[in-house]
Amino acid sequence: MLIGHIREIVRHPVKSFYGESVQKTRVMEYGLYGDRSHAFLDEKRPGKFLTITQFPEMVRYKSRFVGEELEKAYPKVEIMTPEGKIFNWGDEELTKEIENKSKRKISLVTYSPSNVPLGVIEEEHLQLVTDASLQKLKQIWGKTEIDYRRFRPNLLISLKEKLPFVEEKWFGRRVRIGNEVEIELKRHCERCMIITVNPESAERDSTLLKTVVKERNNHFGVYASVIKTGEIHVGDEVLLLE
């Protein structure tokens, strides 16, 4: 059954940085190609990542892959700071800037295209939100605008029938995207303070999280696991399988 199409594809080459919107990419066994494949480790909290939770301004750093997406090695990761400076991943000046601003000692970690661990990407392979649910949440929140990037999804789906939160009824069901990719919808995405951070300005608004907690039992968006890998494109049809 046709349920909609892919409106946006977003990956995050660097964990907690601003997402990169792409027209096409590959879905790997762990999720979108290169999603959260580069990250900062927070030396104040051994074994933990530095994220927007500890340093909200991370969301204003924009990362993107530049070059061919190879299976054995990532293309160059280019980063633009909030001030417009351009760095490559691993540049010492960028690392020092992040350390100074966050007031934390950090180290860098990079995972290979074939081996991105689940904990980096969060708790499942992919996160989805729908346009109908986003519109309904905006009404509930009472604001004139809501940026879907607050929720850091991989896929924004435009539904054929604009039924808010209908995706939550599909847990355990499989979905095909385009001609190759299949995913299985697994469970709710529980929210945290990250959604309170404006992805453009890094300004905080706690009322969004309070609204999601009160009106949605702290749920918005759904997690999915990858069943069949392949290439996806913006505009691809999304079908709910029997």
The CATH number of residue 134's host domain is 2.40.33.20
- Burial of residue 112 (CB within 10 Å: 0-12, 13-18, 19+) is exposed
Phi-psi group of 97: left, alpha or beta (phi > 0 → left; psi -120 to 50 → alpha; rest → beta):
alpha
> How many domains, the chain?
1
Specify the pLDDT at position 66.
97
> Which residues lie closer than 8 Å to 170 by C-beta, 6 or more apart?
185, 222, 240
Q: Which residues are paired to 122 by β-bridges?
A: none
Note the pTM of the prediction, 2 decimals.
0.94
List the domain range (segments joined by +) for residue 30: 2-240
Specify the pLDDT at position 149.
96
Q: Which residues are paired to 113 by β-bridges?
A: none
- Burial of residue 74 (CB within 10 Å: 0-12, 13-18, 19+) is buried
Block residue for tokens 């594809």: 9
pLDDT tens digits, the chain, 242 residues: what are they? 999 999 999 999 999 999 999 999 999 988 999 999 999 999 989 989 999 999 999 999 999 999 999 988 999 999 999 999 999 999 999 999 999 999 999 999 999 887 777 655 566 789 999 999 999 999 999 998 999 999 999 999 999 999 999 999 999 999 999 999 999 999 999 999 999 999 999 999 999 999 999 999 999 999 999 999 999 999 999 999 98
CA distances from residue 51 to 19, 37, 48, 114, 119 in whole angstroms, order as listed: 14, 14, 9, 23, 13
Q: Which residues are paired to 77 by β-bridges?
A: 65
How far is Cα 57 from Cα 65, in angstroms, rounded to an integer?
Answer: 21
Using the 8-state DSSP alphabet, how is residue 205 labeled? Answer: -
